[in-house]
C-alpha cells in the first residue's frame, strides 16, 4: 500500500481518532506508573485534549476485582480518554477490551512498543515489532471484536532493533537497517488496512529503550509515505512545548504525544497552545506551581486516600522539583527534592509545599 506522497499540513485545530474529534494536536502519552486518573484529569484541566492510561495487560484487567485497583486503572474521566492494552491472546484481549468499553473508555490502543525485557521475553509489547504479521493479526481480530464506533489505535516503535555491542559487552547503539524499516512499513500498512484509527510512532528502536535520540527524520519519512487521510502521531524527545511544536512542523505529523515532558510539567499543553496560536508561552510563577501541585495532590488524595496519596505523589513531586527555580542562594533544588522525597503524611506534604512554594 505505497500510497500517494503526503502534502499534509499541520492542522492546529487537531485531528480525529475514528468518530472522536481531538481539538488540539498535543496529547498526553501513555506512561506506566504515571498516567493514572489524577494525572490524566490534571492534564485535561491544563489543556491536553486527549489522554491515555498506562499500558495494561489484558489478563490483568480480567483478574481485577471490582475494587480499588479496578478504579485506579479503569477509571475513565475527563473524556475523551483511551485505554492502552497489551496482550497476544486474541480472545482474552477482546474480553478485556470490551470490559474497558463497558466501563466507558472512548478508544482502545494496542501496545507494540513496550521495551521492558520481561514483556519482550514473553513475546509481548515491543517484541511484536519483529513479527509484523502476528501483530497485524492480533490487531485485526481485536478490531473485529470491538463495536464499530470504538476506535482502535496502535503504539509502535520504529523497529525492534539489533543491538551493536561495544568492546566491554555493553550495548552501544542500535543500527538501523533496511530490514527493520521494511518491518515497520509492513506493520503500518497492515494496521491501517485493518482499520487503525491512528498510529503513534516512537522514533526509537525497542532495543534502544530510551537511549540515544528519537529519529524524527524517520517520522517525517513515514508521514510522507502514508496517505494524507491516515492519522499519524509522533513520539520521542518531546521535553518542552517548543519541541512539540517543532515535531509538528518538521515531521508534519497530525499530532504529538507528550510523555516525559509532561511528567511534573502539565503546563506543556497550555504552552504549546500559546506557541501554536502565536502568543508567548505561559510562564508559571511559583504561586502557579503551588496551585497546580495542590490540585494534583488533591486529585491523587481523592483517588487513593490521603495516606497512599503521599506515597504515590512522591515520584511526581520529584519531577515538579526539577522545574523549581530557587528564590535565593540558601535554597537549592536538591533541598526541595530531598524534602518532598521524605514526605510520609499529608501534614508533611503541606509543610514542604508551603516552605518552598508559598
Ligand X SMILES: Cc1cc2nc3c(=O)[nH]c(=O)nc-3n(C[C@H](O)[C@H](O)[C@H](O)COP(=O)(O)O)c2cc1C
Among 10, 17, 22, 29, binds ligand X (CB under 6 A): 29
Decide: residue 277, CB within 10 A, 0-12 exposed, 13-18 middle, 19+ buried: exposed
Q: What's the sign of the alpha-carbon dihedral 327, 292, 264, 66?
A: positive
Using the contact rule CB under 6 A, the part of the chain among 23-31, 126-134, 159-167, 224-232 near ligand X is 23-31
**Rule CB under 6 A: is residue 97 a binding residue for ligand X?**
no
Considering the complex, state which of residue 43 and residue 214 has its C-beta at the smaller distance from ligand X: 214
Report the C-alpha gap between 215 and 8 in whole angstroms. Answer: 19
**Rule CB under 6 A: is residue 88 a binding residue for ligand X?**
no
Give the distance from CA 200 to its chain's centroid.
Answer: 9
Q: Which of residues 109-168 bind ligand X (CB under 6 A)?
A: 111, 113, 155
Considering the complex, state which of residue 18 and residue 234 has its C-beta at the smaller distance from ligand X: 234
Say if residues 138 and 110 touch (Cβ distance below 8 Å).
yes
**Rule CB under 6 A: is residue 31 a binding residue for ligand X?**
yes
Say if residues 101 and 147 touch (Cβ distance below 8 Å).
yes
Using the contact rule CB under 6 A, the part of the chain among 186-194, 229-237, 271-279, 293-301 near ligand X is 229-237
**Rule CB under 6 A: is residue 54 a binding residue for ligand X?**
yes
Q: For residue 21, what is its C-alpha cell?
A: 474529534
> For residue 39, what is the enclosing H or E element?
helix 37-45
**Rule CB under 6 A: is residue 106 a binding residue for ligand X?**
no
Name the residue among 244, 169, 183 with its Cα closest to residue 214. Answer: 244
Considering the complex, state which of residue 185 and residue 239 has its C-beta at the smaller distance from ligand X: 239
Using the contact rule CB under 6 A, the part of the chain among 6-14, 27-35, 145-153, 289-297 near ligand X is 27-35
Q: Which residues bind ligand X (CB under 6 A)?
A: 29-34, 54-55, 84, 111, 113, 155, 202, 214, 235-238, 259-261
Amino acid at each position: 500500500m505505497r500510497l500517494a506522497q503526503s502534502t499534509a499540513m499541520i492542522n492546529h485545530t487537531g485531528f480525529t481518532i475514528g468518530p472522536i474529534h481531538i481539538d488540539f494536536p498535543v496529547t498526553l502519552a501513555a506512561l506506566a506508573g504515571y498516567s493514572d486518573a489524577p494525572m490524566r484529569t490534571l492534564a485535561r484541566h491544563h489543556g491536553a485534549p486527549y489522554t491515555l492510561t498506562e499500558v495494561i495487560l489484558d489478563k490483568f484487567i480480567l483478574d481485577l476485582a471490582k475494587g480499588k485497583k479496578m478504579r485506579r486503572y479503569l477509571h475513565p474521566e475527563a473524556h475523551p480518554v483511551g485505554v492502552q492494552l497489551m496482550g497476544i491472546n486474541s480472545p482474552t484481549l477482546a474480553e478485556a477490551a470490551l470490559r474497558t468499553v463497558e466501563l466507558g473508555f472512548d478508544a482502545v490502543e494496542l501496545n507494540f512498543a513496550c521495551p521492558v525485557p520481561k514483556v519482550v521475553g514473553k513475546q509481548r509489547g515491543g517484541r511484536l515489532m519483529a513479527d509484523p504479521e502476528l501483530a497485524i493479526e492480533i490487531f485485526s481480530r481485536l478490531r473485529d471484536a470491538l463495536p464499530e464506533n470504538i476506535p482502535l489505535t496502535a503504539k509502535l516503535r520504529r523497529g525492534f532493533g539489533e543491538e551493536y555491542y561495544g568492546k566491554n559487552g555493553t550495548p552501544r547503539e542500535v543500527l538501523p537497517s533496511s530490514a527493520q524499516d521494511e518491518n515497520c512499513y509492513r506493520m503500518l500498512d497492515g494496521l491501517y488496512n485493518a482499520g487503525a484509527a491512528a498510529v503513534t510512532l516512537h522514533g526509537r528502536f525497542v532495543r534502544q529503550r530510551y537511549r540515544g535520540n528519537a529519529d524524527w527524520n524517520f517520522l517525517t519519512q513515514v508521514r510522507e509515505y502514508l496517505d494524507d487521510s491516515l492519522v499519524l502521531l509522533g513520539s520521542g524527545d518531546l521535553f518542552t512545548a517548543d519541541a512539540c511544536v517543532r515535531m509538528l512542523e518538521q515531521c508534519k505529523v497530525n499530532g504529538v504525544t507528550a510523555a516525559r515532558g509532561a511528567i511534573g510539567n502539565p503546563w506543556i499543553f497550555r504552552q504549546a497552545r500559546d506557541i501554536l496560536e502565536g502568543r508567548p508561552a505561559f510562564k508559571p510563577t511559583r504561586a502557579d506551581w503551588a496551585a497546580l501541585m495542590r490540585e494534583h495532590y488533591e486529585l491523587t488524595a481523592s483517588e487513593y486516600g490521603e495516606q497512599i496519596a503521599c506515597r504515590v505523589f512522591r515520584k511526581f513531586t520529584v519531577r515538579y522539583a526539577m522545574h523549581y527555580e530557587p528564590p535565593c542562594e540558601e535554597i537549592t533544588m536538591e533541598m526541595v527534592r530531598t524534602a518532598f522525597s521524605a514526605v510520609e503524611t499529608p501534614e508533611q506534604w503541606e509543610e514542604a509545599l508551603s516552605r518552598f512554594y508559598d
